[in-house]
Amino acid sequence: MANTHNVTEFIFLGLSPSREVQKVCFVIFLPLYMAIVLGNFLIVLLVFVSRSLRSPMYFFLSYLSFVEICYASTTAPKLISDLLAERKAISLWGCMAQLFFTHFFGGTESFLLTVMAYDRYVAICKPLHYTTIMNRQACAVLVGMAWLGGFVHSFAQILLTFRLPFCGPNVMDHYFCDLLPLLKLACSDTFLIGLLIVTNGGTVAVFCFVVLLGSYVVILLHLRTRSSEGRRKALSTCASHITVVLLFFGPCIFIYLRPSATLPMDKVVAVFYTVITPLLNPLIYSLRNAEVKKAMKKLWVETMKLERK
């Protein structure tokens, strides 16, 4: 890379050129990031300590919450610190690392959401065989495949990006290292590599979304034979997951399933899937799930008892 890159760092333009707006954003995003870490960590802790949350669904949920913490942490801390900095710079290798981990954790989340849809399919459509199919070993293998899929996806993106020469300019109209803004800074024809990059990201998003959509179509068709009470209970367990899927895949498909050109809305959409979605996930699962709320209340009571002692 030393022979192909004259650029050693990139300069971010950030969310806004206005210092007043940046200060307001700092006051907003710092508490949001703290809420992301605390909220998702609480979900992981609840699943770990609560005996009532031992089913495969909560096993996958704990990993999803852990991935959300990692995913948000690849961009949010840098964004928050840059809001108070006059010069928003990142080294070339720091940019590549941020790019890799963003797609690694983002890809892993995509596959985890797909695995969770399969879990709901087995639980609702094959209830008598659920414990046999979704045993501990199968759950571990599915989680491992999700991590492996995220790694392969991210490695392919980075491998293509490494081939681009960066000779200048080095000013990026974004707040973190993303693929499409980075392509604009390469001093070579990026059409083919850009097409491959967008195809890779779009294929993962579309594949997972189609599998998710197919799973829930089968579930809905199967629920036609259930009683109204059975349908209500089954749909209540799926509603949270469907909401998270729409929040996550909607912005991703908007970014990566279109020609490799940047739009003014891209930074706003990026804020949504890097900050807002990780924040909403623990709220959605805790507010809509009676078992999670019960486990949370029990943990709170036990914590209060220990403090009194």
pLDDT digits (tens, 9 = 90+) for 230-240: 677 667 667 77
pLDDT of residue 81: 94
pLDDT of residue 260: 53
- The residue range of the domain holding 193 is 9-308
Angstrom distance (rounded) from CA 126 to CA 129 = 6
pLDDT of residue 2: 43
Residue (of 272, 69, 262) closest to 174 by Cα position: 262
In a domain, 106, yes or no: yes
Q: Which helix (H) or strand (E) holds 61?
A: helix 56-73
pLDDT of residue 300: 75
pLDDT of residue 97: 93
Q: For residue 215, what are its two tokens?
A: 């799973």
pLDDT of residue 151: 95
In the block, residue with structure tokens 């000013």 = 171
Residues of the chain with pLDDT under 50: 1-3
Q: Pairing relation of β-strands 89-91 and 171-172?
A: unpaired
> How many domains, the chain?
1
pLDDT of residue 264: 62
In a domain, 160, yes or no: yes
CATH code for the domain in which residue 90 is found? 1.20.1070.10
Q: What is the pLDDT of residues 14-43, one digit of tens each?
A: 888 888 999 999 999 999 999 999 999 999
pLDDT of residue 80: 94
pLDDT of residue 293: 77
In a domain, 71, yes or no: yes
Prediction pTM value: 0.88
Q: For residue 162, what are its two tokens?
A: 């490494």
Q: What is the pLDDT of residues 261-301, one digit of tens each?
A: 555 677 888 888 888 888 888 778 776 677 777 877 777 77
pLDDT of residue 30: 95
pLDDT of residue 3: 46
In a domain, 180, yes or no: yes
Q: CA–CA distance from 175 to each of 74, 132, 141, 270 (Å)?
A: 12, 47, 36, 9
In a domain, 146, yes or no: yes
Strands of the chain (E only): list them. 9-12, 89-91, 171-172
In a domain, 105, yes or no: yes
In a domain, 183, yes or no: yes
In a domain, 4, yes or no: no
Residue (of 56, 107, 102, 34) closest to 241 by Cα position: 56
